[in-house]
Every structure is written in structure tokens, then in C-alpha cells.
Amino acid sequence: MSRRRRGPPPAWAQSLLDAALPMGVVGESIHGDLETEYLDLRGPNWVARLWYSFEAIRIALHYNKGMGMSDFLQDVRYGFRMLMRMPMVSLVAALSLAVGIAASTTMYASMYGFLYAPLPYADQGDLQTLMQIDRATGDKGDISAGNVLDLAARVEAFENVAAWRPVRTTLSSLEEPMRLLRLDATPNVFQVLGRQAALGRTFSSDEGRPGSAGVAVMTHYLWETVFASDPGVVGKPVEVAEREYTVIGVMPPDFEFVPGDIGLVMANTFEDERDNRDGARVVAVTKLAGGATAEQARAQADATWQSMTAQYPDELSRFTFRLETLREQFPGESDARLVQVMLLVALFVLIIAAANVANLLLARAEERAQEIAVRVSLGAGRIRLLRQLLTESTMLALLGGVLGVLLAVFAVAELAAVMPSGIPKAFSPRIQPAVLFFTVGISVGVGVFFGLAPALQALRPNQRGTLSAVSRGGTVGRSRSRIRTVFVVGEIAVALALLAGAGAMTSMANDLVNVDLGLRSEGLLTFRTSGSGERYAEPGALAAFHREVEQELLDLPEVAIMDELPRGRNVRGPEFTIDGREPQEGQEFPRTMMLSVN
Amino acid sequence: MSRAFLGEFEQMVLLSILRMGTGAYGLEVRQELEVAADRKVSRGGFYTTLDRMERKGYLTWVSEVPDNSRRKDRQRRFSVTIEGLAALKSSRRALITLWDGLEPMLED
């Protein structure tokens, strides 16, 4: 009864067995023995199919133990001759694969740089960042300076804690003042990151205290772009936000912070922010003490955070604390996901190209049916022919891989050139060994996976009979056409998904560019005014400056003044409540945007 | 006298064929081997051993569709050749010689 219900064994395992066993009655009888046992097997179908597959593989392995390097080299030589026999077909197929492989390689190079490339700091494994997490929203963010100073003093597993904050400022000692991103950082920052200056020196521990002389370390980026790589800049003064600093050193070209367009690093101990526990944040990085593990540090820091929360409940009860590796911080989750999606899209393009080539190989398999039938009738083993055909398709894919890498070199260079200056060079895409390893991997994978169907088709058992059976078509032809249909339908499905995704992205980008702001922006120019530095340190000084600017501008009828551009990035209005609809415990207050205009 | 000696598994295969009489088809030989020798036999190992012994001339086969079988495909019916029988005898003699005098030591 069970025999009648049993379906056929897995087709791939049958093909494998066909390919592995000797031809004629020897192969047929072994095949028949296994099938009889399969039909007599008790239990569910899936168990029987699994058993059959397992036994087919074992028998195939027994029958193909003796294949060696010389067979492989022979396959390669023969494969090369076959590719050269139809050079145009081979070239078109390889180029088709090259486009897909180039796209995948480029995206993998971007993803690798973005997610895995090491930061230019020594002992990265020992560096951890200190994060403050909002209990209500789960938002992960930098930490307030007062908390950093407390944790640095109390947690023994922290050997040294550095903190920094990027500040947009003005470099005013040049002929024309320029906007600049500077970093206020604790003097131990370079010690924690394990890097020395290329010229001059980095900070000493007594620099950066309130009232001490201003000193600055210049990044290679600013030294090269603004100071024309002048080695004499060390020891010279620069004026930043109307305060004078002495340049004490220049960092090497590979040293970068995130963001990558920091120009100057100023020493700042943040002592004047000791009481700031839930206000302005800093990036804090710690180097673990020798022998301390991340778990020990985490446990100590958690305990310290709890005692700090008990000490300052008003400021800290909203937050928890977390220690993460430095690399986990960069890039953020959404950016990481974006590059992963882009890689997936590129892989889809590769799948389409590979399915096209598989179709081409199927067509070629038909042309070569007679050749294969002759080789079979002359005694060639089917597993040998299978290996031969797979070697050919893999060689084709590797040729596509080589061409793809050449294309990717240009694409990666173009991509690296248009990276925004804020993205560190360490994150830039580049063709490196890990990327090449990926390319070889996908090339071989494509060659084997998409060469398998045409190869198994070419060696179908029905074909092993006579030459005339091959040329007549019949079952073999129908089966091939079914596989072709699967490839074509698969290609169209993936292409449609990609098209729909591309359409959605294009329309989104269009909407972003052409968004209706509710105003006519043609012919309008905008500019910002700002004041920073000691001149505006006195309370009310900055407001007085803005009033002065406003008075001057009000005389110009064609100038409108507002505190932020409509839909500007910095608009984050005050919180408000609606009577009777106060937010629940843990919920955020709603916010509104407010613009003051003349 | 044949100088060839057979491996343990080869002896078992030949003996199983002889025990099966005239209807020694592959599947039945393997099943007989498993039952009589009480050991699990890998299919791959079994079939490659048959091929090897055929090459050595110890066994031969004819291709036929058995009359009373539910299978309608061609099967190989195996028989042991004169050379195979001689090799079996030779192996047996060698073993008996080696066993001679050791029985008391190896008795349970």
C-alpha cells in the first residue's frame, strides 16, 4: 500500500546517480536496486526522499574517489578550448555576468568599507563607547560630560576615558574667515586612540583646563586643503571664534575622526560641564585597563551608573547606560541597513545576468548534445562530463568576474570621489583583498549554481541511448524548455521587483527635490548669520548682535528675516500639551514648529 | 594453486553469492550478506567491490529481467567463476593453517 503512495525519488539525486554510475546495465541495475529499496521503505515520503538522496550521494562518492589534479587540469584545458570555439557567445555571456558582478563587487566594497573597515586607531578591540539610552524611547545617544567625568573616575576597568564634541565654528585668522568643524576634546584623546602627530606633538595632560593657553592640533585634512601642507604651521597661532590658539601638531593623513571633515582639535577637559548630566552630549571612548574584559567593564559601569542614578535621580532616572564597541557606533543602524539593501539589489542584478547566461548555456547544451552523446557512447563517465561542463561554466563566470572587477575598479573610484567630506576616508569603498575574495566567491557560486541545470540537462539519462534519440528531442527537449521557462519567469519576477523598487526610489527622490514648500522659491537666495567666541560670551551679547544685524537688514526691503528656513533641518520646536490629553507616563510630549519672521 | 588471497569483505560477498544459488541478484546478495554476516553493508562499497571482483575475474554476471520480479528493469545475476572459487579455497586453506593449534587459546 505504501508503495503506491510513494512519489518518485528526488530528481537531482537521480541525476547525480546517473552521472556518477557507469553506463549500461551496471548503472541501471544499481539505480533499480536503490529505487526498489526506496519504494519498500516504510515511513513518510520526506524521510524516504531524504534517505534516497543520502544514499545516492554515498554511492556517487564511492564511484568517484579517484579523480585527481590531472583530470582537473584536463577539464580546464578542454573548457578553455570550448570557450574559444564560440568566442562571441562566450564574450557576450562573460560581459553579461561582468555587469552583475561589477555591481555586486562595488556594493560589497561600499558595504565592507562602511561596516567593517578598521578605524585608524590602535588597539581598536579595547576601545568602547559610552552611550546614554533614553528609557522611554530606547533612543541611543552620546553621553553628557558630567556623567563621563564621574564614570572615568569611578570605574576601575576603564584605563582612560576620552571625550569629544564637534562644534561648528569660524576660523578667522585667514584672509577670509571660513566655517570650520572643530573638535573640543579631552587632552588624552590621542593617547586613548593610540596615535601620534605626524608633525609637532599632541596634547599634554595639563592642557585644556579652563583659563589655560589655547592649543590646537590640526588634522591632515585642514593642513592640506587650507594651509597648503606648510610644515611651518606648527607653532603658529590661529584664531578660532575670536580666540587665539597655538598649533602644536599636525596629524598623519590616515588619522580621522567621524565626521571626517574635522579641521582642528582643541584641548578641553570639560571641567566646566561637571554638573551637566542631561544636557549637551559628548562622544566618550574608553580604553579598557589591561586584563579587564568588556563584560567586567560593563558590570562595573552598570553598577556605577546605578549609584549615580541614585545620587542624581532627577537628571539620570530617564536614562540607562550601555557600553558598545567603537565600530558598532559607525555607521548608524539606518545607514548600515541602506548599504545592505543596496548590496541585495546588486545581487538581484547578478541573478538576472546569471539566469540569462544559464539560458544561453542551455541553448548551447542543445547544440553540443551530439558531442556529449558521442563522448558518452565512447565510454566517458557522466560524472566526468558533469565536472567538465561545470568547469566550463565556472571558467565563464570567472572570466565575467575578472571583467567585473575591472569595471568595479572604475565604479569604486567614482563612488569614492563623490563621497561627502564628512565620511571618513577609512569608510570609503576600495578594492581590497576581502572584496576580491567576495568576487571570486560569487563568481564560482554563479558558475556552479547556474551551470548545474544546463549540465544536468545535457547529461539526462534519456539521452544516453542513441544519437538519433538526442536529435529527435522528445522528453529531453520538453524538460529543457521547462527549465528555460523557470529561468525566464524567475528573471522577469526579479526584474519586476527591481523595477518597482527603482520606481519607488525615483519617485521618492523626485518628491524630495520637488517638494511643495508652499512658497515660491525661484530666484531666492538664503544666507545665515551667526556669532561665536568670547565676544559673545557675556549674557545678551549674542542677542544684541542679532538685533544689530536685524536692524541693518530691515532697511533692505528685499530681505526677509526668520530664525530658521521653512522646513529647515534645525527646526525642532517646543513641546506642548493639549488640555485633557496629557501624555501618559513614558510618552513623549508632542512638538510643534515655530518660526519667527519679520 | 592460486596465489591470490581475498580480503574479508570479498570473501563474504563471494560466499553470499554461492549461498544464493542461481538467483544471486545484487539487492538480494547484499541483503543475504547483511543477514548472514550480521553487519551493515554500505551500498557504494558493495557495488564497487562487485565491480572490482568482476575485473579480477572472480565473478561474472548476466543481464536479465527476472520473470517473477515486480521490477521491469534489467538486473545483473551474479555467479562465482572458477577463479573466484579457487581464490576462496586458497584463502580458506590459509586461514585454516593459521588457525591450526590455536583453538584452545581462542576459545570462549
Residues forming a β-bridge with A216? A247, A266
What is the Cα–Cα distance from A262 to A315, expressed in whole angstroms?
31
What sections of A219-332 are H helices per DSSP? 220-225, 294-311, 313-316, 326-329
Would the CB atoms of A26 and B76 count as touching at under 8 Å? yes
**What is the rounded average pLDDT of the residues A29-45?**
88
Which residue, among A184, A201, A196, A200, has the nearest Cα to A121 in the 3D structure? A196
What is the Cα–Cα distance from A195 to A202, expressed in whole angstroms?
9
Residue percentage of chain A with pLDDT more than 90: 13
Measured between alpha carbons, how far is residue A215 from residues A208, A333, A540 in Å? 8, 35, 28
Least confident window among A198-202, A430-434, A487-491: A487-491
What is the Cα–Cα distance from A260 to B51, expressed in whole angstroms?
70
Instruction: Look up residue A548 and give its amino acid.
Output: E
Q: Which residues of A touch B63 (CB under 8 A)?
A: 25, 29
Q: Which residues of B touch A54 (CB under 8 A)?
A: none
pLDDT for the residue numbered A466: 40
Among B49, B69, B76, the strongest candidate for a mutation testing the A interface, having the largest count of A CBs within 10 A, is B76
What is the grid cell recorded at A294? 568588556
Q: Is the dihedral of CA A196, A199, A201, A207 positive or negative?
A: negative
pLDDT for the residue numbered A210: 75
DSSP letters, A131-149, are EEEETTT--EE-EEHHHHH
What is the Cα–Cα distance from A446 to A346, expressed in whole angstroms?
14
For residue A24, pLDDT over 90 is answered with no
Interface membership of B44 toward A (CB under 8 Å): yes
The better pLDDT of the pair A566, A251 is held by A251
For residue A597, pLDDT over 60 is answered with yes
pLDDT for the residue numbered A465: 44
CB-nearest to A58 from B42, B63, B75 is B42
For residue A472, pLDDT over 60 is answered with no
The better pLDDT of the pair A237, B1 is held by A237
Interface membership of A205 toward B (CB under 8 Å): no
pTM for the structure as a whole? 0.61
Interface membership of A37 toward B (CB under 8 Å): yes
Burial of A313 (0-12, 13-18, 19+ CB in 10 A): exposed
Which residue, among A209, A203, A286, A289, has the nearest Cα to A251 in the 3D structure? A203
Residues A198 and A187: beta-carbon distance below 8 Å: no
The better pLDDT of the pair A177, A153 is held by A153
Would the CB atoms of B63 and A29 count as touching at under 8 Å? yes
Residue percentage of chain A with pLDDT more than 70: 90
Least confident window among A92-101, A478-487, A488-497, A505-514: A478-487
Interface membership of B69 toward A (CB under 8 Å): no
Interface membership of B99 toward A (CB under 8 Å): no
pLDDT bin (cut points 50, 70, 90) of residue A124 is confident
**What is the rounded average pLDDT of the residues A464-477?**
45
Least confident window among A499-513, A561-575, B2-16, B52-66: A561-575
CB-nearest to A61 from B44, B51, B63 is B44
pLDDT for the residue numbered A397: 92
- Smallest CA–CA separation between B2 and chain A, in Å? 28
* Beta carbon pairs, A and B, within 8 Å: 48
Interface membership of B48 toward A (CB under 8 Å): yes
DSSP letters, A334-375, are HHHHHHHHHHHHHHHHHHHHHHHHHHHHHHHHHHTHHHHHHH
CB-nearest to B44 from A22, A37, A62 is A62
Interface membership of B26 toward A (CB under 8 Å): yes
Q: Please, how many CA atoms are within 13 Å of residue A525, restricted to the half-sphere of its CB?
A: 2
Contacts of residue A459, defined as CB under 8 A and 6 or more positions apart, other chains included, come to A15, A18, A19, A372, A376, A382, A385, A386, A389
By C-alpha distance, the chain B residue nearest A20 is B44
Q: Which residue has the cell 539566469?
A: A355
Phi-psi region of A356 (alpha: psi -120 to 50; beta: other; left: phi over 0): alpha
Would the CB atoms of B48 and A62 count as touching at under 8 Å? yes
Mark A269-286 as b/e (b = at least 16 C-beta within 10 Å): bbeebeebbbeebbbbbb
**CA Rg, chain B, in Å?**
16
Residues A219 and A265: beta-carbon distance below 8 Å: yes
- Smallest CA–CA separation between B17 and chain A, in Å? 16
Q: Is the dihedral of CA A505, A507, A510, A512 positive or negative?
A: negative
Give the tens place of pLDDT for each residue, A349-366: 888 888 888 888 777 777
Mark A475-508 as b/e (b = at least 16 C-beta within 10 Å): ebeeebeebbeebeeebeebeeeeeeeeeeeeee
Q: Which residues of B touch A58 (CB under 8 A)?
A: 42-44
Contacts of residue B69, defined as CB under 8 A and 6 or more positions apart, other chains included, come to B75
By C-alpha distance, the chain A residue nearest B27 is A33
What is the Cα–Cα distance from A475 to A460, expressed in whole angstroms?
10
**What is the rounded average pLDDT of the residues A505-528?**
77
Q: Report the residue count for chain B.
A: 108
Please provide the average confidence, as pLDDT, over all residues in chain A: 81
- Smallest CA–CA separation between A445 and chain B, in Å? 28
Residues A184 and A168: beta-carbon distance below 8 Å: no
Residues A405 and A94: beta-carbon distance below 8 Å: no
Interface membership of B31 toward A (CB under 8 Å): no
Instruction: Look up residue A309 and give its amino acid.
Output: T
User: HEC string of B26-90?
Assistant: HHHHHHHHHHHHCCCCCHHHHHHHHHHHHHHCCEEEEEECCCCCCCCCCEEEEEECHHHHHHHHH
The better pLDDT of the pair A374, B41 is held by B41
By C-alpha distance, the chain B residue nearest A60 is B44
Interface membership of B40 toward A (CB under 8 Å): no
For residue A467, pLDDT over 60 is answered with no
Q: Which residues of B touch A62 (CB under 8 A)?
A: 42, 44-45, 47-48
pLDDT for the residue numbered A471: 44
Q: Which residues of B touch A26 (CB under 8 A)?
A: 51, 76
What is the grid cell recorded at A253? 593623513
Measured between alpha carbons, how far is residue A310 from residues A150, A275, B28 in Å? 13, 15, 81
Tell me the three state secondary structure of residue A86. coil
pLDDT bin (cut points 50, 70, 90) of residue A180 is confident
pLDDT for the residue numbered A463: 45
Measured between alpha carbons, how far is residue A117 from residues A337, A431, A583 in Å? 16, 12, 44
Which residue, among A292, A295, A315, has the nearest Cα to A303 in the 3D structure? A295
pLDDT for the residue numbered B54: 92
Tell me the three state secondary structure of residue A376. helix
State phi, psi for A209 to the nearest 5 degrees.
-75, 155
Q: Which residues of A touch B26 (CB under 8 A)?
A: 29-30, 33
pLDDT for the residue numbered A1: 42
Phi-psi region of A270 (alpha: psi -120 to 50; beta: other; left: phi over 0): left
What is the Cα–Cα distance from A201 to A185, expressed in whole angstroms?
15
Which residue, among A127, A155, A158, A132, has the nearest Cα to A143 in the 3D structure? A132
- Smallest CA–CA separation between A48 and chain B, in Å? 16
What is the grid cell recorded at A101? 558582478
Q: Which residues of A touch B48 (CB under 8 A)?
A: 62-63
Interface membership of A341 toward B (CB under 8 Å): no
pLDDT for the residue numbered A533: 65
CB-nearest to A32 from B43, B45, B73 is B73
pLDDT for the residue numbered A2: 43
Residues A129 and A324: beta-carbon distance below 8 Å: yes
**What is the rounded average pLDDT of the residues A302-329?**
86
pLDDT for the residue numbered A98: 93
DSSP letters, A445-456, are HHHHHHHHHHHH
pLDDT in single tens digits along all 108 residues of chain B:
445 678 889 999 999 999 988 778 898 899 889 998 888 888 988 998 999 999 999 999 998 887 777 777 788 999 999 999 999 999 999 988 888 888 777 776
Measured between alpha carbons, how far is residue A411 from residues A11, A107, A498 in Å? 42, 10, 20
Measured between alpha carbons, how far is residue A396 from residues A92, A302, A347, A404, A406 in Å? 10, 56, 18, 12, 16
**What is the rounded average pLDDT of the residues A262-268?**
90
Would the CB atoms of A22 and B45 count as touching at under 8 Å? no
**What is the rounded average pLDDT of the residues A328-339?**
75
What is the grid cell recorded at A502? 527603482
Interface membership of A465 toward B (CB under 8 Å): no
pLDDT for the residue numbered A102: 93
CB-nearest to B47 from A28, A36, A59 is A59
CB-nearest to B47 from A28, A30, A36 is A30
